[in-house]
Amino acid sequence: MVEEEYQIVEARAAGADAVTLPAALLSPEQLRNLISITQRNRMTEVVLVRSAEEVLAALPYQPRVFALSNRDPHDFSINLETTLRLRELIPPDVVVISSGGIRTPQDLAYVVRAGIDAVMVGQALLTAPDTAQAIEELFKLTPAS
């Protein structure tokens, strides 16, 4: 996660194509500035949001990608409804990622039906005894899913 301009420049120099900008940690002015710097460096900004307020604060700066965090930062609980609620606020031409709490094929199907373009899966893979098998199981969607 990026909070300072130099981190964007360093990420680009290291070969990164995208950076995550945590809306909760940035003022509106910082967010605007970091989105602009990211785009000037020909990178993709992924604005990480957890609330409607954060989405609405970021929209005027026209980010190309939003990551919708399903994890509560206070108690670390997961609520996939967050993705559904926040997706409705974002224009359809903006890429939307659901982040956190995707553990089962049913979870994946649930957020995909909400119009999500991608998912970030972390803990489910990191804690799996067999990562390849966990990935295979996660993507076993049936037409009824």
Please say whether the beta carbons of 24 and 54 come within 8 A.
yes
pTM: 0.88
- What is the percentage of the chain residues whose pLDDT exceeds 70? 97
Return the half-sphere exposure (C-beta side, CA atoms, 13 A cut-off) of residue 18: 11
pLDDT at 1: 82
Q: Is the pLDDT confidence value at 142 over 80? A: no
Segment 13-29 mean pLDDT: 96
Please say whether the beta carbons of 145 and 109 come within 8 A.
yes
Structural domains of the chain, with CATH: 5-138 (3.20.20.70)
Over the range 16-47, which residues count as b (16 or more CB within 10 Å of their CB) and which as e?
Answer: eeebbbbbeebeeeebbebbebbbebebebbb
